[in-house]
Amino acid sequence: MKTDSSHIAKGVMFGLLTALIWGAWPVFSRFSLTRALNTYDIAVLRFGVAGTILLPYWLKTLRHTTARPAVRPQLVLLMFFGAGAPYLVLSGYGLSIAPAGHFGVITPSCMLTFSSLAAWWLLDDKPTPARLIGWPLILIGVTLVGLRGLSLGSGDVWRGDLIFLICGVMWGIYTVAFKQTGMTGLQATAWVNVTSMLALIPIYLIFGLGNMGAASTSEIVTQGLFQGVFSAVIAMFCYNKALAILGVSRGAVFAALVPGCALILGIPVLGEIPGWIEVGGLCLVTTGMLFVLGMFGSMHRRQIAPGG
């Protein structure tokens, strides 16, 4: 019994660390995006560091992975589009004009909703009653989160929220493509990061898209470590460990903690104080995510969740 308890506690530790890193990603990204670095800098730091770390593993498994019948080139392209450089550049632009807490609420919840709908349509994964309850709660909550920006007359905020919604759809595309390839989590992480590095860095250098010269060395090093090591590699490893120890249905629930982490971390780091409407929207979104993840009653279904 003691061994089982310590085993579960270890899984919970991995899950909480994942939620903390993924919740911190929009906060730390926006911190630099509102100062010296731009969205291309953030993307290059993330994929440059993570891609370099994972390149030996990617080369080692390249022949074996591409030889599998399920790993069609179009699926790899969809994974790249949904979670690679296009996703990160677009989300970075959204974070430059809208609060980090909005990203933490809107993108994970929309990803869960759209990936579930896509799985229903493409993979014949019929929704449970819990999902049919959760989806409306998520959509209402997301609307409440974006309502404050509209009521304050801030056009940029609602545009950022719309970008976050699109990012959620992109993660949904990645999720369905990933399920169809049959790759392991580490293989998918390597493919997304290495292909993004190979595609993005030449464009970044040729067209001079960066602004790293205006940033301090400490900021560049800090973002490189957080983006490339913690967010792209460690968080995914911890998430996979949580799933292995706790099972998919219990491990995936830690994705529901991401919105709260992002909203709370945004207060001391960015000074972004959420209003009561945003807090109410967060509560609805989190409740809806728990329903969609199948964490209420006996309606457990498998689901894969995103990160930053």
pLDDT tens digits, one per residue of 98-135: 888 788 778 877 877 777 777 777 767 677 788 788 87
22 occurs within a structural domain: yes
pLDDT over threshold 70, residue 303 = no
**Count of domains observed in the chain:** 1
Rounded distance between C-alpha atoms, residue 240 and residue 234, angstroms: 10
Rounded distance between C-alpha atoms, residue 113 and residue 138, angstroms: 8
Rounded distance between C-alpha atoms, residue 267 and residue 56, angstroms: 39
140 occurs within a structural domain: yes
Q: Taken in order 13, 145, 137, 84, is the CA torsion positive or negative?
A: negative
Residue pair 169/114 in contact (Cβ under 8 Å)? The answer is yes
305 occurs within a structural domain: no
User: 0.75 cut: is pTM over it?
Assistant: yes
pLDDT tens-digit series, residues 274-287: 778 878 887 887 78
163 occurs within a structural domain: yes
95 occurs within a structural domain: yes
Rounded distance between C-alpha atoms, residue 261 and residue 23, angstroms: 5
301 occurs within a structural domain: no
- The domain in which residue 280 lies consists of 2-292
Residue 170: in which H helix or E strand, if any? helix 155-181
302 occurs within a structural domain: no
61 occurs within a structural domain: yes
Q: How many Cβ atoms from other residues are within 10 Å of residue 25's Cβ?
A: 29
Query: Which of the four pLDDT bands, split at 50, 70 and 90, describes residue 92?
Result: very high
